[in-house]
């Protein structure tokens, strides 16, 4: 029989990313793993959950923009550092080579193989957290992480985060083709 753990979120691993915003006029980067895809296709919206105590929140609200940058395995120490120290006490603006795109106010990390710039769509006000919903307006990728023009996870080598084990994980191997692995069962069903 399964053991009850109480209301624990078991949805790990999640990617560990750097969310960038201009705060008081300078770039700040916060490590985030509580984020996700909200819609895809014609509407590309993502949600990022930030505790209200963080320095970054005010910058996102002020500029109405933010970035989500995907670091690779080699950046694990930098990513962890950005999750240990706050822009309230430490200036993180010089840590990375920063670039800007369409929006002009969403700082992105050149060292990250993939960066998305987002326009703030809505903030959902939870008691402890701001849930920032952003529309992706442009995605910037190093050509080396593309395979026939598509983002290739095996080349990006993103960092995965497990809150329960308090560890970063690396990506494993591909398992099966999506929208194909179930075809046999479908065929069986249809006789």
Ligand X SMILES: Cc1cc2nc3c(=O)[nH]c(=O)nc-3n(C[C@H](O)[C@H](O)[C@H](O)COP(=O)(O)O)c2cc1C
SS3 181: coil
Identity of the residue, 12 or 45, whose beta carbon is nearer to ligand X in the bound complex: 12
Contact range with ligand X by CB under 6 A, out of 24-32, 63-71, 112-120, 174-182: 24-32
- Strands 65-70 and 114-125, by their bridges, are antiparallel
- The residue from 26, 34, 119, 155 that contacts ligand X (CB under 6 A) is 34
Measured distance CA(21)–CA(26) in Å, rounded:
8
With binding defined as CB under 6 A, does residue 156 bind ligand X? no
DSSP structural state of residue 144: G
With binding defined as CB under 6 A, does residue 56 bind ligand X? yes
- The residue from 66, 96, 132, 161 that contacts ligand X (CB under 6 A) is 161
Q: Mark 108-127 with x for binding to ligand X (rule: CB under 6 A) and - for no binding.
A: --------------------
With binding defined as CB under 6 A, does residue 31 bind ligand X? yes
Identity of the residue, 64 or 83, whose beta carbon is nearer to ligand X in the bound complex: 83
Angle at 66 between CA 61 and CA 72, to 5 degrees: 145
Q: Give CB contacts under 8 A, 24+ apart, made by 95-98.
A: 95/29, 96/27, 96/29, 98/20, 98/27
With binding defined as CB under 6 A, does residue 50 bind ligand X? yes
Number of residues located near ligand X, criterion CB under 6 A: 21
Measured distance CA(69)–CA(17) in Å, rounded:
6
List residues binding ligand X (CB under 6 A).
Answer: 16, 28, 30-34, 49-51, 54-56, 80, 83-88, 161
């Amino acid at each position: 029989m399964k053991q009850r753990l109480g209301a624990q979120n078991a949805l790990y691993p999640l990617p560990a990313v750097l969310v960038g915003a201009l705060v008081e006029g300078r770039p700040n980067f916060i490590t985030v793993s509580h984020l996700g895809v909200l819609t895809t296709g014609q509407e590309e919206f993502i949600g990022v959950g930030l505790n209200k105590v963080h320095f970054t929140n005010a910058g996102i609200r002020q500029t109405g923009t933010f970035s989500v940058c995907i670091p690779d395995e080699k950046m694990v120490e930098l990513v962890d550092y950005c999750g240990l120290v706050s822009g309230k006490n430490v200036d993180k603006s010089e840590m990375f080579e920063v670039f800007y795109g369409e929006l002009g106010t969403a700082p992105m990390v050149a060292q990250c193989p993939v960066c998305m710039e987002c326009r703030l769509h809505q903030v959902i006000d939870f008691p402890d957290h701001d849930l920032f919903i952003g529309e992706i307006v442009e995605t910037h990728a190093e050509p080396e992480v593309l395979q026939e023009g598509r983002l290739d996870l095996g080349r990006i080598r993103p960092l995965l985060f497990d809150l329960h084990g308090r560890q970063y994980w690396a990506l494993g191997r591909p398992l099966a083709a999506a929208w194909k692995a179930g075809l046999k069962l479908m065929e069986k069903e249809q006789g």
